[in-house]
A and B are shown apart, each in its own frame.
Chain A
Amino acid sequence: MADKVLMKGNEALAEAALRAGCEAFFGYPITPQTELAAYMAKRMPKEGGVYLQAESEIGAINMVYGAAGAGARCMTSTSSPGMSLKSEGISYIAGADLPAVIVNVMRGGPGLGGIQPSQADYWQATRATGHGDFHPIVLAPSTVQEMASSIHEAFELADEYRTPVIVLIDGMLGQMMEPVELPEKKETKKDKPWAVTGHGGKRAQNVINSLNLDTPGLERMNFERFERYEKIKENEQQAETYMTEDADIIIVAFGACARVSRTAVDKAREAGIKVGLIRPITLVPFTSDAIEEVVDQAKAFLTVEMNMGQMVEDVCLVVAGRAPVEFFGHTGGIIPTPNEVLEQVEKLNAEKGGDA
């Protein structure tokens, strides 16, 4: 086992990406993501890869589009306002069926908003990353260790399903340090027969393009893409459950809010309240299986988010009226406290008639 080191989330993710075989990074500085790009600037050239600071986020995502089309394992990272600028490029990447990893270290919005942690881009990541019919896969780690461990998987999922993968974190996780065991180097680059690599006249030409003026052809491509999404939904849902076995109240929270909620669960359990936590690790595909498993036993659900209530809609879609679904959150860069979440749990428990 490798020794643990103390690293910022942003830096641990960058180092892990290099070890996962990332060959090219294109980015543009923005708080609270900048350490990630800075780390790449320092390390990538030594690894023989490409680091390029683009003229803007739009430039960076289109460089990712090009590098991905050429078969490179590549990524970009940004924070909320930058993500909006990248959205057109992400749509093109999805439309051209290319693998790429995009990290969003979220800050308060809308507009330029603030620079403190937020989860207000949940809808953007899961619903409207760009125009057209598509979903990226969205991963939501909640510790520095998980930020490091999940990046290899992000690249693998992107390659496997030929889709953009978004790693959605918040400023708190990006900025904080925790002990982390960095993953071993893995060279697992998949064969990419579709890539435009030059062929010396030995095979038919590959074309990377998102434009398709043949109407039935474009529909067929969308159908095919959504068949892939069905497979993703079937095979790739990941959630962590904590003390849900006998729980009356189920908290659903991801990222930083899941950590806060876990402390609240411990405090509520000490007071005899039967509460548990489901932490979606994949936001797309949404972890409906994990929620479905507890929906019959649950007297109430509570989602905790750093926004005005976004993931709560996905929870409602799964619960489908079988139990009440409540929301608690802060926005604008404020992190909910365990005591605030505990208060919500106590209130729900009193209202819904839990055992304690």
Chain B
Amino acid sequence: MSKVYNLLLAGFGGQGVLFAAKLLSYGGLIEGREVSWLPSYGPEMRGGTANCSVVLSEEPIGSPLVLEPDVLLAMNQPSYDKFKDDVVEGGVIIVDQMLVPDVQEREGVRLIKVPATTMAEDNDLKGLANVILTGVIVKESGCLDIKDVEAAIKKSISERKAHLLEPNIRALKLGYEFNDA
């Protein structure tokens, strides 16, 4: 059985973690894999924290709830604090370092600090830190072929919003090319 990817994306409601998770899910669909996307739902979505579980697998997916992520994306401090210890040995934690200032290195888990909010502002991509970070997830985890995530963006953005296509793809590539050195 080939690798199952358990991804957990978390942040404040409105930062776009559900959309980022949808891009990864659509990427999996395009690759013909089994995919599940499970959001937290309810009052925590309005101004509180939101998170979304994504599973990419070759086999039918049992529980879609990710409790032991291979990849954690934290877009705010509370999400990082809540989930950092759940990440499995050999996993990776990706944070927006502007929004998650207080981090600790953990043995066996890679920590990638990305100035995603600043990168977005510097590149005229305001509000697309989530897509930049999606690029980082793909690069650091190898969970998907970046071309398929690009195709997922094209599928997820309706014709009515076609002007958003170019900046989203640019944001994805910016994240994918991000160098943690």
Asked if A and B are interacting partners, one says yes
Using a CB–CB distance below 8 Å, which chain A residues touch chain B? 4-6, 31-32, 115-116, 143, 171-172, 175-179, 259-264, 266, 335, 337-338
- Against A, the Cβ 8 Å flags (1 = close, 0 = not) of B14-48 are 00000000100110010000111111011000000
- Between A and B, 17 residue pairs with Cβ closer than 8 Å are A31-B42, A32-B41, A115-B41, A116-B42, A143-B60, A175-B38, A176-B64, A177-B25, A178-B35, A178-B37, A179-B34, A259-B61, A260-B62, A264-B62, A335-B65, A337-B63, A338-B63
With both beta carbons as reference points, the residue of chain A lying nearest to B29 in the complex is identified as A179
With both beta carbons as reference points, the residue of chain A lying nearest to B1 in the complex is identified as A266
B103 within 8 A of partner (CB): no
Which of B22, B26, B37, B63 is in CB contact (< 8 Å) with A263? Answer: B63
B67 within 8 A of partner (CB): yes
- Chain B hits for A143, CB < 8 A: 60
Bound-complex Cα distance A55 to B36 (A): 35
- Chain B hits for A263, CB < 8 A: 62-63
With both beta carbons as reference points, the residue of chain A lying nearest to B152 in the complex is identified as A6
- Chain B hits for A5, CB < 8 A: 29
- Chain B hits for A115, CB < 8 A: 41-42
B27 to chain A minimum Cβ distance, whole angstroms, is: 10
Return the 5 tightest CB-CB contacts between A and B, nearest first: A263-B62, A177-B37, A176-B38, A260-B63, A259-B62
Establish whether residues B67 and A337, one from each chain, have CB atoms under 8 Å apart when the complex forms.
yes
- Chain B hits for A171, CB < 8 A: 41
From A6, A115, A259, A261, name the one whose CB has the most chain B CB atoms within 10 angstroms.
A6
Establish whether residues B67 and A178, one from each chain, have CB atoms under 8 Å apart when the complex forms.
no
Establish whether residues B64 and A179, one from each chain, have CB atoms under 8 Å apart when the complex forms.
no
If A259-B62, A266-B62, A338-B63 touch, whether A6 touches B41 (CB-CB below 8 Å) is no
- Against A, the Cβ 8 Å flags (1 = close, 0 = not) of B52-85 are 0000000011111101000000000000000000
A11 to chain B minimum Cβ distance, whole angstroms, is: 12
Bound-complex Cα distance A115 to B45 (A): 13
Establish whether residues A6 and B29, one from each chain, have CB atoms under 8 Å apart when the complex forms.
yes
Given contacts A337-B63, A338-B62, 16 further A-B contacts (CB under 8 A): A31-B42, A32-B41, A115-B42, A176-B36, A176-B39, A177-B22, A177-B38, A178-B37, A179-B34, A260-B62, A261-B62, A262-B60, A262-B62, A263-B63, A337-B65, A338-B63
